[in-house]
Homo-oligomer: A and B are copies of this chain.
Amino acid sequence: MTNMGLRRSVVLKRRPSGEPTPDDFSVVEDSVPQPQPGEVLTRTIWLSIDPYMRGRLREEQTYAVAIQIGEVMTGETIGEVIASGSPDFVPGDMVSGARGWQSHSVSPAAQLHKIPKGAAPLSAYLGILGMPGATAYAGVTEICKPKAGETFVVSAASGAVGSVAGQLAKRMGARVVGIAGGPDKCLWVQDSLGFDDCVDHRSLDLRRELQAACPNGIDGYFENVGGAVQTAVFEQLNPFARVAMCGMVSQYNDKTMPPGPNLGFVVGKRILIQGFIVTDRLARFTEWRAMAEPLVADGSLVYREDVIDGLENAPDALTGILSGRNFGKLLVKVANEH
């Protein structure tokens, strides 16, 4: 049980230079706040750790506001309502929201979404049934659009987004090849997720292994990592290939960006490269959740979680996800469910 009198929060102490470390954050305590009318008090049970969080620590911003020094880190959470000033929620309700790295939070009721009881484990609503799953769904169905007989490649294939993207492309009839780091992840991607093949990006000759796994070239690519993996995949894209640019985690800690691929091939091969952020497509969340809940419940869609215990370990978890240390959807267990 959490301490009902004190709230713990993880705040940014200083902007990391390169790889973030736990020293870049502090844990602070204050009193658990009380909800005003229209507000809801929750205790956090699960906190999601995602690569995009590294971008929030940079001074310069693209699509979201930077976290300021002393501010609580942002993050998606699942919590239990423990006091409510809103007629829409009662104590005991389980809710998802972007409530940040803290043990308790008071939120306007409109910022929370009730989670149905019993359809799937609570934590799945931060992974396959949450933002990562909806991201995979949007990128695959709106950008890559894999067709039967085509070859679809996804990097970070064992991760929260990549594992769903590949399973979706497989259901759409494509030959699906994952790229992951190390033999354990590759084996799981093939054996448990059912991908047709998985290439270890740490292998000595990534290009040749990818060629062997994709003898007919690559028609759709779901990009999560960038760097050498991107180079190898881009070289093997077929005419009219579609690239969903979801993330480039390999460079999130870089101070200056390395050069990228010469884009001459994009013209001759009529390549589509499309960046996207799932929060632009909120309608897809609801759609995806309704579609995926029964498939998760009956085991047709598979997922794997990597659980770190304790809010104070969230900073180290973030360091880990940026270097690929996690294996599956990375979660911090902030408190017990019951």
Interface membership of A215, Cβ < 8 A? no
Interface membership of A274, Cβ < 8 A? yes
Given known A63-B239, A239-B63, contact A270–B276 (CB-CB < 8 A): yes
Given known A251-B262, A259-B260, A263-B248, contact A280–B275 (CB-CB < 8 A): no
Contact string against B for A residues 252-276, beta-carbon threshold 8 Å, 1 for contact and 0 otherwise: 0000011111111111111111111
Q: How far is the CB of A230 from chain B (nearest CB, A)?
A: 7
Q: Please state if B273 and A62 are interface contacts (CB–CB under 8 Å).
A: no
Q: Please state if A246 and B266 are interface contacts (CB–CB under 8 Å).
A: no
Partner of A274, one of B239, B247, B272, B280: B272
- Output the nearest chain B residue to A241 by Cβ-Cβ distance: B275
Complex Cα spacing A257 to B231, Å = 13
**Copy count, this protein chain:** 2
Residues 116 to 154 of chain A near chain B (Cβ within 8 Å): none
Most buried by B among A248, A262, A271: A262
Q: Please state if A273 and B270 are interface contacts (CB–CB under 8 Å).
A: no
Interface membership of A232, Cβ < 8 A? no
Q: Please state if B246 and A267 are interface contacts (CB–CB under 8 Å).
A: yes
Interface membership of A226, Cβ < 8 A? yes
Q: Please state if B62 and A268 are interface contacts (CB–CB under 8 Å).
A: yes
Residues 177 to 230 of chain A near chain B (Cβ within 8 Å): 226, 230
Q: How far is the CB of A300 from chain B (nearest CB, A)?
A: 29
25 sampled A-B residue pairs with Cβ under 8 A:
A55-B268, A62-B239, A62-B268, A62-B269, A63-B239, A63-B270, A226-B264, A245-B267, A246-B267, A247-B267, A248-B263, A248-B264, A251-B262, A257-B262, A259-B261, A259-B262, A265-B275, A266-B273, A267-B277, A268-B277, A269-B275, A270-B280, A271-B273, A272-B273, A272-B274
* New A-B contacts (12) at CB < 8 Å, excluding given A245-B266, A272-B272, A273-B274: A55-B268, A62-B268, A62-B269, A248-B264, A257-B262, A259-B261, A260-B261, A260-B262, A268-B277, A270-B275, A270-B277, A271-B274
